Chain A
Amino acid sequence: MTEQAYNFAYLDEQTKRMIRRALLKALAVPGYQVPFASREMPMPYGWGTGGVQVTAACLTPEDRLKVIDQGADDTTNAVSIRKFFERTAEVETTEHTAEATVIQTRHRIPEQPLGEGQILVYQVPIPEPLRFLEPRETETRKMHALEEYGLMHVKLYEDIAHNGAISTAYAYPVKVEGRYVMDPSPIPKFDNPRLESAAIQLFGAGREQRIYALPPHTRVVSLDFEDHPFEASKADHDCDLCGCGTSYLDEVITDDAGGRMFVCSDTDFCASRQADGHRGALSPQEELA
């Protein structure tokens, strides 16, 4: 089959319209999980079927798309989704955060602050923050409706009781505009403060058939206790390639003798810093001039 056999961005227009309606509702009620009729996508669940559908519904031919997976532009998931839209939508793609109009992401927010006019699309595995505390969906929906969020703090209480600190390091629950408690998808809690952004943030969960959203400049508060406040944590290290001390780091095992290095998880951020001449502890030696 040729590419022309597909509609623009793979999904048919009726489906995109249905998703856009869900997106508008989600933007109107920030943090509320809107059900939508998720379609089968040509990829397995867990690979971003929800995010891909949201991206497909948002794309226009003029858009420039960036896809990241754990911050990296060059991992399997990111590469295949980028190729998918190159073929089915023929949109331009980029690896530079600032140039992209639509960014689909898995588990990270880009280091560079996003601006107005940009859309960040998250791939969400489990949209329900209360799922592991209250398995009944009927009950969790009622709890959202009635704003009964005491249970969310039970999880944090358990963390402190067992580990001495809030050990939840990713998918850290947030309260949106003082109303809905939301699972910000499994981003590290380091990224939580950056959920308050000038960009539109859309969350798509394909298997669970839910869409939710954060409009620009929405107030997002990470839940915590008075005596155990929220802390955006990262590895206590500088990037070994670009020397950045404020970015979120991946730990890379380099040999079987305990060797390791820390590198920025955002590859575009790291590469552009290196291009600007920043060097880290393990950077290759500069060529002798």
Chain B
Amino acid sequence: MTPLLSVQGVTKHYGARLGCGDVNFDLWPGEVMGIVGESGSGKSTLLSCLSGQLPPDAGKVVFDTRADGPRDVLTMSEPERRMLARTDWAFVHQNARDGLRMGVSAGGNVGERLMAVGARNYADIRAQAIDWLGRVEISEDRVDDRPRAFSGGMQQRLQIARNLVTGPRLVFMDEPTGGLDVSVQARLLDLLRGLVREMGLSAVIVTHDLAVVRLLADRLMVMKGGRVVETGLTDQVLDDPQHGYTQLLVSSVLQV
């Protein structure tokens, strides 16, 4: 079996400062990878490099494409990469406003990716949009409302629906639960876990919230100062942290 995403020696410098250094990992189909670390540890930089939004200084990001097998995303032409970004990939932003079109109705937001890959039948597009709104627990009568009229949690769920409607194989998530209150976070996590398992998605989730990775991620990567300091199965890393920073991180979680 080939890994869905193979990251080899990805390095990004901001001037003399290290963004992320020499990151290697393989992501297998159906696997969810968590990346945790403090603010400024390079996890968002890494995610941008992986998703083709930021060209890294060195390294390879090899994605197993449907048509041509494993290919380095970074050497792909821009049209190919953009095509990938709206079919096989999805990107869930921390702030739903970055990932949604705020002036377009919920149905239009979900339908945009369908229309971008050539759907031209209004009734079909609308039926799929309503189906997906249902899956993320947004009721059908909100389909023509703009995201402005939605709560933060609903916006985030709408963003997820919009991303998953074309059946991507790899989802990048940047702090998907950031900025939401705890009960909404719990529901969102529950929903995400269901969708990921049901659709057999692979995902790379960046977060600083250990509870999120505990629930969602199969494997964990801990970053500090742009370097990966520890990797392993999620439960293994969280229950028996080896690196000093990971120990600090795990012991810093507030207990109620």
Contacts and interface: CB of A to CB of B under 8 A. Distances in A.
The answer to whether A and B belong to the same complex is yes
30 contacts: A146-B79, A148-B116, A150-B112, A150-B116, A150-B118, A151-B115, A151-B116, A154-B104, A154-B111, A154-B115, A157-B107, A157-B111, A157-B115, A157-B122, A158-B104, A158-B108, A160-B122, A161-B107, A161-B108, A161-B126, A161-B144, A162-B105, A162-B144, A225-B120, A225-B122, A226-B120, A226-B121, A226-B122, A227-B123, A228-B122
A146 B85 CA distance: 14
Contacts of B143: 161
Contacts of B116: 148, 150-151
Interface string A209-242: 0000000000000000111100000000000000
Interface of B is mostly: helix
A153 B115 contact: yes
B184 interface: no
A14 to B, nearest CB: 36
Contacts of B104: 133, 154, 158
Interface in A103-161: 133, 142, 146, 148, 150-151, 153-154, 157-158, 160-161
Contacts of B113: 150
Contacts, number: 54
Contacts of A226: 120-122
Interface in B112-149: 112-113, 115-118, 120-123, 125-126, 143-144
Interface of A: 133, 142, 146, 148, 150-151, 153-154, 157-158, 160-162, 225-228
Contact of B78 (A146, A157, A160): A146
A36 B76 CA distance: 33
Contact of A153 (B78, B107, B120): B120
Contacts of A148: 82, 116
Nearest to A153: B115
Contacts of A157: 107-108, 111, 115, 122, 125-126
A161 B105 CA distance: 8
Among A161, A225, A228: residue with most chain B CB under 10 A: A161
Nearest to A166: B122
A227 B144 CA distance: 19
A133 B108 CA distance: 12
Interface residues of B, number: 23
Given A148-B82, A158-B104, A225 B111 contact: no
B121 A154 contact: no
A150 B118 CA distance: 7
A189 B123 CA distance: 23
B80 to A, nearest CB: 10
Contacts of B144: 161-162
- Which 9 pairs show the lowest CB-CB distances between chains A and B? A150-B116, A150-B115, A225-B122, A153-B115, A226-B121, A146-B79, A161-B144, A154-B112, A154-B108
B101 interface: yes
B79 A150 contact: no
Given A146-B78, A161-B144, A151 B112 contact: yes
Contacts of B108: 154, 157-158, 161
A128 B105 CA distance: 22
Given A154-B112, A226-B122, 10 more contacts: A146-B82, A150-B112, A150-B113, A150-B118, A151-B112, A153-B115, A157-B108, A161-B126, A226-B120, A226-B121
Contacts of B101: 133, 154
A161 B144 CA distance: 6
A227 B82 contact: no
Interface string B26-66: 00000000000000000000000000000000000000000
A153 to B, nearest CB: 4
A226 B123 CA distance: 9
Contacts of A162: 105, 144
Contacts of A146: 78-79, 82
Contact of A158 (B105, B118, B120, B123): B105
A151 B117 CA distance: 10
Interface in B240-255: none
A2 to B, nearest CB: 53
A45 to B, nearest CB: 25
A134 B129 CA distance: 21
A149 to B, nearest CB: 8
A225 B121 CA distance: 5
Contacts of A151: 112, 115-116
A218 to B, nearest CB: 22
